[in-house]
Amino acid sequence: MVLRINQRGVTLIELMIAMLIGTIVLAAINGLVKLGADAQTTGRAWNELTYQGRFALERISDRARLVAPKPLALPAANSTGDWFAPAGCAAAACVMYCLNGGSQLIETTTTDSACAGTTAIASNVATFSAALPAGAGAVDRSIAVVSLTLGTGSNTVGLASSVRLGGGTQ
């Protein structure tokens, strides 16, 4: 006599194997989702830094276009000195850009030697410099190179712009 067993349902071993396969698939999907979310966060941070840097450089370039060409002397570190101040300006109208201790690029006046102004045009600024282009001659002295580096965590963006006093950018 042969016994026949009619099986209905799932055995415990089959259920355990299905759960193991499901766990492996979910772990792989979770890794991909985390990787995508991290990439999105990094991209957003980089975009924000780039936006802030471009805004600051454009604001400085706009100011440079308003100033008549003049000979430029090397400014103090982390500052533009009186480069973007019109000749003979009143103290309150002599604009200067500088990097304060709080990693902010500040628009202030040339009399503010402590860079304590209240108009921040960019934050998370690691470095800021204003320099004359290498090899600039007497005719080219109205050209300035303004550069800044912004950073948060592992994201760093470096930007630079050549500006010509009295008009135009290069």
Largest CA distance in the chain: 117
- For the chain, give the mean pLDDT: 85
Q: Is 163 exposed, middle or buried (0-12, 13-18, 19+ CB in 10 A)?
A: buried
- State pTM to two decimals: 0.73
- Is the dihedral angle over the CA atoms 21, 26, 29, 35 positive or is it negative? negative
φ, ψ at 82 (rounded to 5°): -95, 20
pLDDT average, residue stretch 91-102: 84
Predicted local distance difference test score (pLDDT) of residue 169:
44
Look at residue 34 and tell me whether its pLDDT is greater than 90: yes
